């Protein structure tokens, strides 16, 4: 028997990574005894013959049990937002089937293992369904990496770096020390039986009958029902209409004809739908406590402009309070950033959702104020952290030079938080501007600080989006069977930098998921002349691009400013990259392969760079002053940077909203190209699994 890559490792290396090691052939490779009594390989599991009912139930829509946390209206909303991406995902899977290079077209089944996240050995992306496996060592490669090699494009990074046991495509060598041959790999699926096909059929049928727009190219989508289809579609929806009009649907069908040319007529489609879905009992007239209710709203919520296969958010909206009060008379709100930034004033009001959604679907950030009014502030003060965690050692970052300060006790950081005299000094005898990043590292916030966790979660604004179990947080759709993504919360605590206008506390970067960042505590050092120190902060705000209402808020209402944010639209990320590449060339900096100026987090856009960005690329960001108690909502993919003005304790929670699912999908693929040492290289979000199970739950609710 050949050993898999994990079992073949040395005992020392397996012990070192004992928490993550498992045999790659578990629930996959079949064994038997031969006539000599020796054990030998008897093939691999079959997705149709070997999948049992419990295996299939994990992936099938449950038509007899409605998810208790979803209403009919929210399910419609979710399908309208996510359905087209699921359809696109399905087409990628079918394309992968036709790119399989081996003459052996047998598809093996790799059963999902509880608590294990299957990952590509090349790019560390989470495997969704189709992938390729070496039957000798268990090496796995995802669809995208298989396609890259299929096209003959090697990884330029590897040409510059000698990496043992990998070829120029970054593929690991087999345990027999030979390179892997692409046409010898075995096509494998994770989703059992024909569950994927079934769910695609059900989703399109449900959306067509309930008039939920999908904006996809399938003949059964809402947008295709009322127009003639004359040209052969690049991808054909996997149902032969004539066959299903005359024959009852059978779950055993797995062979899909993708080459047939349809002449789709509205009457035939409707007849098919009524026949195919006659077994489903649709829930109608059910009351709902939310405002995502009537058909007009659902249609409006899901109106996207299509460009190729990419869907763009609605255009940026600029509002005045007079205009918005007519639209949202029961919502306490204001407008900042010259009418572009929505500021909600009642953090726990249920009336906030539609107002938030109308702004959020446009890719615009949102501020929610007065969150700290509901928090137990004694939990978030420096003395509280000194008392509980003062003797724990942790790494710090000196924001003045970006250097790591290793192994410092937490009390060293927190004692310097309120008093400059207690701060560590650098080699130039200057007080360090320290940052405590992503703490607690590697530990669940809820387990390490349960009281603070509950205090935060009970008071997060827009909890349907931001809480772990929120109905509009798509990450909640993953069952406990899967390794759920670590979405926080995480603490971001740092000293103020009002005296250093070119130094950012957090350099320009972007995240694969949405996030809410709450300023839970802000303070001025006790051993400085407060008036002069505060004036420095006001000067920093005045010299920035902050609008007049933001400046009035700081002065007239005496809200204590904590941090200065610059947030840009996700669609402007490539323009920002272009500017930074241009500046690197101007400064004689060599651009390395697999380098990304945003993902590398090496840049802070000061006033001069922001001015160039506006003049040369017509890109204007949001200059936002985050005061104590403010929560900033940052859309997925939106480049942003932060500069603490006063000493700040911030807590961030990530989430996956339906409105930004396309950017999460795009960024997951973008992160594949980063180097293995990059913090964002590994796909921890599992966006494809999230999309699948969101659709599954929504279909379960509606059928």
CA atoms of 391 and 413, how far apart (whole Å): 11
Please tell me the distance from the alpha carbon of residue 497 to that of residue 504, in angstroms, as a whole number. 8
Mean residue pLDDT of the chain comes to 81
What sign has the CA pseudo-torsion 415, 416, 421, 427?
positive
Residue 682, pLDDT above cutoff 80: no
Separation CA 344–CA 511 (nearest Å):
23
Which of 351-365, 535-549, 568-582 is predicted with the least confidence, judged by mean pLDDT? Answer: 535-549
Measured over the CA atoms of residue 642, residue 643, residue 645 and residue 649, the dihedral's sign is: positive
Supply the pTM of this predicted model. 0.83
Distance CA 493, CA 501 (A): 19
What pLDDT, in 10s, does the model give residues 613-645? 999 999 999 999 999 999 999 999 999 999 999
Beta bridge partners of 651: 491, 518
**CA atoms of 341 and 338, how far apart (whole Å):** 8
pLDDT for the residue 229: 29
Q: What does each C-alpha distance from 173 to 176, 181, 185, 229, 468 come to in angstroms?
A: 8, 10, 13, 47, 40
The token pair that represents 23 in the structure block = 């045999």
Say whether pLDDT at 254 is over 80. no
Q: Are 498 and 562 in contact (CB under 8 A)?
A: no
The predicted-structure confidence for 347-405, as pLDDT tens digits, reads as follows 999 999 999 999 999 999 999 999 999 999 999 999 999 999 999 988 899 988 888 89
Which CATH number is associated with domain 321-362+364-569+621-658?
2.60.120.650
Among 204-208, 228-232, 428-432, the minimum mean pLDDT is found in 228-232
pLDDT of 296 > 70? The answer is no
Distance CA 429, CA 424 (A): 9
Q: Please list the residue range(s) of the chain that carry CATH number 2.60.120.650.
A: 321-362+364-569+621-658
Q: Token pair of 700, please?
A: 């379960």
When comparing pLDDT for 83 and 16, which is higher?
83
Distances in Å between the Cα of 203 and the Cα atoms of 198, 249, 263, 294 are 9, 15, 21, 20
Name the most confidently modeled range: 183-192, 405-414, 557-566.
183-192
> For 375, which DSSP code?
S
By the 10 Å C-beta count (0-12 exposed, 13-18 middle, 19+ buried), 206 is classed as buried
Q: Shortest CA distance to 467 belongs to which of 492, 489, 443?
A: 489
The predicted structure's pLDDT at residue 314: 74
Q: Any idea which of 288-297, 468-477, 509-518 has the lowest mean pLDDT? A: 288-297
């Amino acid at each position: 028997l050949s050993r898999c890559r994990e079992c073949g490792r040395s005992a020392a290396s397996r012990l070192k990574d004992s928490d993550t090691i498992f045999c790659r052939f578990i629930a996959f490779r079949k064994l038997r005894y031969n006539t000599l009594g020796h054990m030998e390989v008897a093939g691999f599991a079959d997705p149709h013959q070997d999948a049992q009912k419990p295996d299939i139930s994990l992936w099938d829509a449950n038509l007899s049990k409605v998810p208790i946390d979803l209403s009919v209206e929210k399910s419609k909303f979710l399908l309208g937002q996510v359905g087209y991406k699921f359809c696109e995902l399905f087409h990628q899977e079918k394309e992968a089937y036709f790119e399989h290079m081996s003459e052996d077209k047998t598809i093996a089944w790799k059963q999902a293992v509880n608590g294990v996240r299957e990952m590509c050995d090349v790019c560390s992306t989470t495997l969704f369904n189709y992938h390729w496996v070496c039957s000798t060592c268990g090496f796995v490669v995802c669809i995208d990496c298989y396609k890259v090699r299929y096209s003959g494009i090697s990884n330029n990074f590897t040409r510059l770096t000698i990496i043992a046991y990998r070829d120029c495509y970054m593929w690991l060598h087999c345990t027999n020390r030979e390179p892997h041959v692409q046409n010898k790999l075995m096509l494998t699926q994770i989703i059992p039986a024909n569950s994927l096909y079934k769910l695609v059929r059900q989703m399109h049928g449900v959306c067509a009958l309930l008039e939920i727009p999908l904006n996809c190219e399938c003949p059964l989508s809402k947008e295709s029902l009322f127009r003639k289809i004359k040209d052969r579609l690049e991808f054909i929806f996997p149902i032969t209409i004539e066959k299903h009009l005359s024959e009852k649907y059978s779950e055993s069908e797995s062979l899909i004809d993708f080459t047939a040319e349809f002449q789709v007529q509205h009457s035939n489609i409707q007849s098919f739908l009524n026949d195919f879905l006659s077994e489903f009992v649709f829930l109608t007239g059910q009351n709902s406590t939310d405002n995502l209710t009537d058909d007009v709203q659902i249609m409006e919520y899901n109106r996207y402009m299509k460009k190729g296969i990419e869907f763009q958010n609605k255009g940026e909206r600029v509002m005045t309070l007079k205009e918005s009060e007519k639209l949202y008379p029961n919502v306490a709100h204001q407008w900042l950033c010259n009418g572009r930034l929505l500021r909600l004033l009642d953090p726990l009001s249920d009336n906030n959702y539609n107002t938030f959604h109308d702004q959020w679907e446009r890719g615009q950030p949102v501020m929610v104020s007065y969150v700290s009014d509901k928090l137990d502030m004694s939990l978030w003060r420096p003395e509280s952290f000194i008392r509980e965690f003062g003797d724990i050692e942790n790494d710090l970052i000196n924001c003045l030079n970006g250097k790591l300060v290793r192994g410092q006790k937490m009390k060293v950081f927190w004692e310097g938080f309120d008093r400059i005299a207690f701060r560590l000094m650098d080699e130039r005898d200057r007080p360090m501007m320290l940052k405590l990043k992503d703490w607690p590292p590697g530990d669940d916030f809820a387990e390490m600080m349960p009281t603070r966790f509950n205090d935060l979660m009970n008071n997060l604004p827009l909890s349907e989006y931001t809480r772990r179990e929120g109905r509009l947080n798509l990450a909640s759709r993953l069952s406990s069977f899967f390794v759920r993504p670590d979405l926080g919360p995480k603490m971001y605590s740092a000293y103020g930098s009002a005296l250093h206008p070119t130094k950012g506390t957090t350099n320009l970067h972007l995240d694969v998921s949405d996030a809410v960042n709450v300023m839970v505590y802000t303070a001025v050092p006790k051993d400085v002349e407060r008036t002069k120190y505060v004036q420095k902060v006001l000067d920093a705000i005045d010299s920035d691009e902050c609008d007049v209402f933001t400046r009035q808020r700081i002065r007239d209402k005496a809200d204590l400013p904590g941090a200065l944010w610059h947030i840009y639209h996700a669609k402007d990320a490539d323009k920002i990259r272009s500017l930074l590449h241009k500046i690197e060339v101007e400064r004689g900096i060599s651009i390395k392969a697999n380098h990304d100026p945003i993902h590398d987090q090496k840049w802070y856009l000061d006033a001069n760079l922001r001015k160039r960005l506006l003049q040369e690329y017509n890109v204007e960001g949001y200059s936002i002053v985050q005061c104590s108690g403010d929560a900033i909502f940052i859309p997925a993919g939106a480049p942003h940077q932060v500069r603490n003005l006063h000493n700040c304790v911030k807590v961030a929670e990530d989430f996956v909203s339906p409105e930004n699912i396309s950017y999460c999908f795009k960024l997951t693929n973008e992160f594949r190209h980063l180097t293995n040492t990059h913090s964002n290289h590994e796909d921890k979000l599992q966006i494809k699994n999230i999309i699948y199970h969101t659709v599954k739950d929504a279909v379960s609710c509606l059928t």
